[in-house]
């Protein structure tokens, strides 16, 4: 009869809250860690998927947003603002509803998936489409939060990182120790920063015996960290990670170097291949950006960088239903049949 209480209640002693903090929650976290059979076979490793699309608004952002909105509420904020490629805005909008706050979101015009736009609308946020990319939106949001009475809830807000680090706790709690390798998609680089912080905290307190190597993957058209320079006009079908100047760039480099990991890129083609594999072979439907982690693992395996027998966790960050265009694109149209069992059986190859 006990349900998961949300990350703040589950990990209260490891988060910056007190007995009087007004917790704003949708009972996020507690997401499935799913053994990946086909990926394990292909790599000769024990691969698990941390399925973050199972969160209340369909992405990992909810872990950070419960903390950010809770702290904004505690500090008396009446309104919050964020820049987003779609998931942060969906999450901010939902938690703002719970907190009774106004939520303003800035999104790059024409570059966010329909499901995410639908979320921002139905949760009742104030949406501005900006004639620019995500990096422009973030600059605008920062400026507005500095000059107007509105709290910024992007991952430059340290409470976001605090909330998101709980995913590492859940993984160690489930596996009994840290994995050998942790693989993530990288966009604005907040999540890799958060996971690394979580793993370090558990290791420092001897909850785990070690920390994993952190492997991050950017989309080739939006790979500033890999290139070592800002990408002025980022492009990729994985709109969630279409980012040319990540806010947590330096933290991502620290996670990479302190953990002995690396940050590499995957092409849109590799992302789509992993996207289809995850759904059709593992039964896990994710959005394209989320498939970048798995695409990266497969690329690394093909390059001989993955020693056999290791325990690997790939975070798949968002739900496939947010951006189903890529599931439908290129797929054959289902055939239409009359209301007739014989005809249906024949079409299904049963007859
Ligand atoms: N995967 C998904 C589905 C995302 O939405 C994001 C980021 C990432 C991966 C990358 O995470 O930025 O912490 O490195 N989405 C942000 C947004 C930018 O606005 O929703 P990151």
On whether the pTM is more than 0.80, the answer is yes
Of the chain, the end-to-end C-alpha distance in Å amounts to 47
8 Å CB contact between 242 and 133: yes
Provide the 10 A C-beta neighbour count for residue 245.
Answer: 18
186 lines ligand 1 (CB under 6 A): yes
Q: Establish whether residue 189 lines the binding site of ligand 1, counting it when its CB lies within 6 angstroms of any ligand atom.
A: yes
Q: Is 104 in the pocket of ligand 1 (CB under 6 A)?
A: no
Low-confidence residues of the chain: pLDDT under 50: none
For residue 201, give both structure tokens: 């905290």
Ligand 1 atom closest to 188 (CA): 12
- Is-contact 275 291, C-beta < 8 A? yes
Instruction: Establish whether this prediction's ipTM goes over 0.90.
Output: yes
Q: Does the Cβ of 190 fall within 6 Å of ligand 1?
A: yes
User: Residue for token digits 């966010």?
Assistant: 112
pLDDT for residue 330? 81
Q: What pLDDT, on the 0 to 100 scale, is given for residue 351?
A: 87
Name the nearest CA neighbour of 185 among 306, 294, 301.
294
E strands present in 155-300: 181-185, 213-219, 262-266
Is the Cβ atom of 55 under 6 angstroms away from ligand 1? no
Q: Is 59 close to ligand 1, i.e. is its CB under 6 Å away? A: yes
Q: How far is the CA of 85 from the centre of ligand 1 (A)?
A: 7
Order of strands across the sheet with 79-83?
126-130, 102-108, 79-83, 151-152
The candidate with the shortest Cα–Cα distance to 117, out of 327, 324, 322, is: 322
Q: What's residue 164's pLDDT?
A: 98
CA-to-CA separations, 39 to 47, 151, 192, 277, in angstroms, rounded: 6, 41, 22, 9
Q: CB burial class (10 A; 0-12, 13-18, 19+) of residue 39?
A: buried
CA of 337 to the centre of ligand 1 (A): 41
Contact between 24 and 69 (Cβ < 8 Å): yes
Contacts of 155 (CB under 8 A, 6+ apart): 64, 88, 161, 164, 188, 190, 191, 193, 194, 247, 248
Distances (CA, A) of 174 to 37, 57, 193, 195: 18, 23, 21, 15
DSSP-derived secondary structure letter, 185: E
β-strands 79-83, 102-108: how paired?
parallel
CB 85, CB 351: distance < 8 Å: no
**Mutation choice for ligand 1 from 84, 188, 296, 322, CB with most ligand atoms inside 8 A:** 188
């Amino acid at each position: 009869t006990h349900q998961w209480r949300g990350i703040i209640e589950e990990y209260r002693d490891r988060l910056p809250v007190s007995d009087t903090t007004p917790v704003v929650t949708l009972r996020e976290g507690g997401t499935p860690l799913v053994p990946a059979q086909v990926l394990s076979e292909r790599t000769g490793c024990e691969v698990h998927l941390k399925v973050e699309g199972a969160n209340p608004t369909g992405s990992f952002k909810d872990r950070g947003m419960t903390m950010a909105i809770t702290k904004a509420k505690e500090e008396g904020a009446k309104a919050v603002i964020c820049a987003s490629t779609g998931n942060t805005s969906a999450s901010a909008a939902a938690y703002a509803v719970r907190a009774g706050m106004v939520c303003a979101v800035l999104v790059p015009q024409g570059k966010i998936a329909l499901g995410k736009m639908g979320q921002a609308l139905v949760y009742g946020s104030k949406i501005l489409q900006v004639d620019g990319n995500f990096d422009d939106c973030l600059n605008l949001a920062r400026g507005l939060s500095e000059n107007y009475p509105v709290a910024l809830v992007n991952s430059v807000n340290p409470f976001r990182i605090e909330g998101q680090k709980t995913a590492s706790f859940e993984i160690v709690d489930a596996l009994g120790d840290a994995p050998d390798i942790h693989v993530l998609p990288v966009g604005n680089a907040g999540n890799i920063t958060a996971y690394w912080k979580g793993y370090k905290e558990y290791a420092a307190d001897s909850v785990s015996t070690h920390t994993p190597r952190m492997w991050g993957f950017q989309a080739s058209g939006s790979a500033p960290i890999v290139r070592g320079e800002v990408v002025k006009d980022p492009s990729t079908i994985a709109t969630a990670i279409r980012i040319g100047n990540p806010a947590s760039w330096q933290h991502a480099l620290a996670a990479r170097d302190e953990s002995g990991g690396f940050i590499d890129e995957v092409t849109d083609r590799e992302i789509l291949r992993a996207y289809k594999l995850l759904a059709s072979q593992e039964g896990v439907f994710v959005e394209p950006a989320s498939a970048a982690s798995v695409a990266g693992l497969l690329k690394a395996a093909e390059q001989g960088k993955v020693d056999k027998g290791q325990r690997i966790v790939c975070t798949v960050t968002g739900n496939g239903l947010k951006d189903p265009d890529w599931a439908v694109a290129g797929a054959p149209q289902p055939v239409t049949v009359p209301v007739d069992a014989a005809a249906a059986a024949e079409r299904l190859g049963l007859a």
